């Protein structure tokens, strides 16, 4: 009985953590503002991404800020720096004009991870090099035209969804969240049956 209840509680806590559900006692961090702003158009690369939350962010290894370009390349090559309510990463010159998406995933003051995506548009192309370690960047020795042909599985429409840094986390979270909901439901039924 008590083991079942403990298990149920643990599952509920885990579900809250993974799904980011708000609890009355302690709300998780909410994004107050970002630099660049959501949806802004810029004619040159921002020097950094800075996210400001309503309360302090925990300095954790899970903290991540990614910037995915119009062709799916990654443009952040450094871990985020936490300073109170702010999390930031430096940015170098970006690449082609088009839509870039900032994806973040940070640990709230209350222990829950929160994340979202913030798009912005670069209106004029720049000459930057994508971050090392990205599959699309390994072909970057060639010139731009060859690079596009050689990149495996790359297509201009869907490339932003294929990036292996930010997007993978969301897929995992949705999957894990679904499993946890099922687990909690089973645990609750089990608890009633034995109690
Ligand atoms: Cu929370």
99 CA to middle of ligand 1, Å? 30
Q: Has residue 171 got a pLDDT over 80?
A: no
Compute, in angstroms, the gap from residue 16 CA to the centroid of ligand 1. 7
* Antiparallel, parallel or unpaired: β 113-122 and 41-42: parallel
Query: Using the 8-state DSSP alphabet, how is residue 36 labeled?
Result: S
User: Ligand 1 centre from 22 Cα, in Å?
Assistant: 5
Contact of 183 with 11, CB cutoff 8 Å: yes
Show the domains of the chain with their CATH numbers: 29-166 (2.60.40.1220)
Residue 171, token pair as written in the block:
């897929």
Q: Structure tokens of 41?
A: 């158009």
Structure tokens at 161: 């969804």
Q: What pLDDT score does 132 carry?
A: 80
More confident residue, 154 or 18: 18
CA 54 – ligand 1 centroid, Å? 13
Ligand 1 midpoint to CA 48 (Å): 27
């Amino acid at each position: 009985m008590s083991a079942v209840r403990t298990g149920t509680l643990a599952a509920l806590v885990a579900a809250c953590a993974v799904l980011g559900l708000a609890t009355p006692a302690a709300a998780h961090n909410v994004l107050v503002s970002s630099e660049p702003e959501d949806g802004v158009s810029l004619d040159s690369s921002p020097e950094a991404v800075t996210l400001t939350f309503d309360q302090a962010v925990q300095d954790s290894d899970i903290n991540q800020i990614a910037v995915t370009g119009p062709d799916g390349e990654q443009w952040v090559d450094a871990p985020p720096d936490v300073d109170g309510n702010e999390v930031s990463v430096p940015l170098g010159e970006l690449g082609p004009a088009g839509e870039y998406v900032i994806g973040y995933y940070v640990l709230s003051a209350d222990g829950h991870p929160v994340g979202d995506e913030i798009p912005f548009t670069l209106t004029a192309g720049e000459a930057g090099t994508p971050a090392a370690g990205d599959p699309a960047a390994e072909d970057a020795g060639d010139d731009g035209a060859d690079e596009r042909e050689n990149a495996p599985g790359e297509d201009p429409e869907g490339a932003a969804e294929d990036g292996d840094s930010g997007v993978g986390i969301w897929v995992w979270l949705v999957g894990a969240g679904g499993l946890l909901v099922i687990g909690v439901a089973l645990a609750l039924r089990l608890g009633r049956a034995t109690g």
